[in-house]
Structure 1
Amino acid sequence: MRVSTNNSFASGVSSLQGRQNELQEAQQRLTSGKRIQRASDDPTGAAQAERALANINRIDATQRSLESSRNAMQVSEGAMGDAVELMQQIRETLVSAGNGSYKDTDRAVLANRLVGLRESLLAVANRPDGTGGYLFGGQGAASPPFLDTAGGVAYKGTAGAIRGSQDENMPLSVDGAAAWLQAPTGNGIFETRNTNSTTAWIGPGTVTDPSQLALTTGTVYSVQFSGSGATSTYAVLKDGAPTAAAGPFKPGQSIEVDGMAFNIMGAPADGDSFEIVPSSDSLSIFASLDSTIADLQSLGRSMGEVSQTVTTGLRDLDASLARMLSVRSELGEAMNGLDGTESRFASQKLYSQTEQSNAEDLDMVQGISDFQNQQTGYDAALKAYSMVQRLTLFQYLNG
């Protein structure tokens, strides 16, 4: 076979160019630290790295949502803490209003203090979240969610709560209606009401035997009094029909019927009546305060009426306070859950980063070794080419 000088030179140049290209690629891998520069370098590894990167981006987005949720829950929990402190002050003021030595003017002063505390409580309920919304706006409110009208405080937000991720339970707001306007009435099982008595008052009552409870929607128990003083008697009716509970009234002694017990204090007069109805989740703290304030501001009320106002006010206040504490506890649990979710996402992100690194990152020891080998090979190729150039007939004759 005859090999021309030109072919030998062309072959040598092509080999040098190939060596130079390989050396350049090895240098790029060392500089970037990536084994895969293009998908064609390793299609399988590139696909694996792309999947890992997509998962990392998804986790990053979820973590941003998680941080927003954590901030919202922290601010909301702080607001509920402020509300609880105000409720404690309201309770202390209401207890003071039951002092038998106080006159109408004294109770009016306490009523004015309750008005101020109510306004502070309403301001907490309408507290903004710092991002253009409101902490208790539910699923969204462009204006303060609680509107103070002549008929009382009305909720103008959208019931429910916004969540950053339904799957991961990341709340971004609080259902204001449930927190402030939907506490259970009465003692949570039944509600006692003073229908017309001015000389006696009824307590919140308790459940003595849950198995005997006969409360259904619309059920009304009525306690009716006849006579007065030592001759006072009572009869309990259920939806207008007499029950087994009836007899002489003894102050301080509980009246029991169908698994319920309640005390009627004071001196019931002839014709006085009280009611017991099923509890419902419809108690508004603002409506309760409005009623209590109006009663304390009224003049010429008997001690029995004042005692009923204080007793009912404290009962409703405690029920609303229990609801607020429950909401605050839920916010705390939500933050605990977010901490656990954050830890889990951190582990998932680390795993994905490891998978991405394994798929596309360069083994630096191997990379340096390959580069040195390529460099040595390129040097050898240059020397071989230069030696071949000197082996022509003309070079020989000139030599």
Structure 2
Amino acid sequence: MRISTQSFYDQSLASMGSQQTSLLRIQQQIGSMTKILTPSDDPLGATRALAASQSISLNDQYSTSRAQATRSLGLEDNALQSVTTLLQNIKGLIVQAGNGTSTDVDRGSIATSLQSNYDQLLSLANSDDGNGQFLFAGFKSGSAPFVQQAGGGVQYVGDQGQQLLQVDVSRQMAGSDDGRSIFQSAQGGAGYVTTSAATNTGTGVYGATSVIDATNPDFGKSFAINFTSATTYTITNSDTPPVVTPGTYTAGTPIQFGGLQITLTGAPAAGDSFNSSTAQNANPDMFGALKDLIGALKTPVDNGTPAAKAQLLNSLSTANVKLSNSLDNVLTVRSSVGSRMQELDTLNTNGDTRNLSDKSYLSDIQDLDYTSAITQLYQRQMALQATQQTFVQIRKISLLNYL
């Protein structure tokens, strides 16, 4: 069979072109460190590689969100730890102020210390993250959440929103807590708070309000103990209309109502009243409780009436219960923060494991086997050289060389 010169050149050119294409492809694979240069090289592999890459990218975003949540919760925990220390110190000062040997001067010094604690507490409540975003302001994080009022009180001007972060595929987590739920709230199981009316003229002093029957149908309601004389009183609950129950007073004898028990000592006067309310209904504001305590300690009683001394003791008892409830609430929030941080650690571990698995899977799909690739490179080079040399040698063959 005769092969024309043109056909010979065409076939040789096509063969060398094919060899060059194969050589170039293996060179590109080595240069890019992947065996899939275009989706057409391996459509199924390219699809799987894209899915694995998207999974890795998404996991990196979750990791970034977890890092942000960890930082925010860490800042909150540091602030709440300082609040805890302050409240514990305040409770110690309350005990000191209730010492029977304390004088007006002593109580004035304690009030000064409490005022300093009050200012520190307000500063902690307005903590920010270092970038001008306040930790306890809810969604209104651009401005301080607690504002000192002209009358001396503190108003919360933030909201109760929680900024949620997507920390995993199906998990959103609050990166902070609002200030009202921390500084102006009490837990549902917090104890009752008893207060005495500012207009009391007797020397009645109350002790702790304890729960004796939580199944009582009136448990959880508010109650008022109103003295109609030095030895008689009525107990009025918060029903509508209220239920009024009469009783006879004996100093030191427990008074029971609504599953509760309270012991009064001293001599209440006609018209005196005492109120017992759940912690949530007793204005659970630690700033207000602390401010009332400071005011009570600044009021001189050494040369005052027995009624004034009784008011001081009652004020100390009320402040102690309110701030104990506040401390318990802060500790509960801190526990929640710690649980979230622990969960983030677990999610980080799971995320790292998932990321490693995805990267290993992606590597199996697209990473190049360098030993095999270099071997193929040399084979293609040799094949191309052989094709070129064969073309050169065959091109020299002609009948004219034999004439």
Give the TM-score normalised by the residue count of structure 2: 0.89
Q: Is the 8 A contact 1:146 1:154 kept in 2?
A: yes
Counting only pairs closer than 5 Å after superposition, residues 315-354 of structure 1 correspond to structure 2 as: 315-354=321-360
In structure 2, relative to structure 1, the CA distance for the partners of 1:22 and 1:184 (3 Å cut) is: closer
Deviation per residue, 1:4-36 (Å, 9 max, x gap): 123212311221121011012112212322110
Report sequence identity in percent.
28
In structure 2, the residue corresponding to 1:164 is in which secondary structure?
A: strand
Deviation larger for 325-334 or 257-266:
257-266
- State the alpha-carbon separation in 1 of the partners of residues 270 and 79 from structure 2: 48
Unaligned runs of 5+ in 1: none
Residue 289 of structure 2 aligns to which amino acid in structure 1?
S
> Do the aligned residues in 2 keep the contact of 1:210 with 1:259 (CA within 8 Å)?
yes
Equivalent position of 1:364 in the other structure: 370
1:248: how far off? 4.0
CA distance in 2, matches of 1:124, 1:138: 15
Moved more, 105-114 or 167-176: 167-176
| 1:169 counterpart SS class | strand
Show the counterpart of 1:378. 384
The equivalent of 1:120 in structure 2 is: 120
Q: Distance in 2 between matches of 1:128 and 1:305?
A: 39
Q: Does 1:181 align with 2:184?
A: yes
Q: Distance in 1 between matches of 2:401 and 2:260?
A: 123
CA distance in 1 between partners of 2:379 and 2:25 (Å): 13
Change (3 A) 1:14 1:241: closer
Match of 1:201 among 186, 202, 205: 205
Q: Deviations over 1:301-360 (max 9, x none)?
A: 522111011101110110001111111111111110100111111122122212222221
Measured against aligned partners, the alpha-carbon deviations of 1:279-310 in whole angstroms (never above 9, x if no partner) come to 42641110111111112222345221110111
Aligned to 1:276: 276
The C-alpha deviation readout for 1:122-148, integer Å capped at 9, x for no partner, is 111111111220121222322211111
Note the aligned Cα RMSD (angstroms). 2.2
Residue 115 of structure 1: how far off its partner (Å): 0.8
Q: How does 1:40-79 map to 2 (within 5 A)?
A: 40-79=40-79
The reply on whether 1:159 has 2:160 as its aligned counterpart is yes
TM-aligned CA deviation for residue 104 of structure 1:
2.5
Q: Give the number of equivalent residue pairs.
A: 389
Distance (whole Å) between structure 2 residues aligned to residue 176 and residue 308 of structure 1:
28
Q: Distance in 2 between matches of 1:32 and 1:60?
A: 23
Amino acid aligned to 1:212: N
Aligned partner letter, 1:247: T
**SS where residue 283 of structure 1 aligns?**
coil
Q: How far 1:82 sits from its partner (Å)?
A: 0.8
Question: Given that residues 77 and 334 in structure 2 are in contact (C-alpha distance below 8 angstroms), is that contact kept between their aligned partners in structure 1?
Answer: yes
Q: Is the 8 A contact 2:193 2:318 kept in 1?
A: no
2:216 to 212, 216, 219: 212
Contact 1:137 1:157 in 2 (8 A): yes
Equivalent residue runs for 1:214-229 within 5 Å: 214-215=218-219, 219-225=221-227, 227-228=229-230
TM-score normalised by structure 1 residue count: 0.90
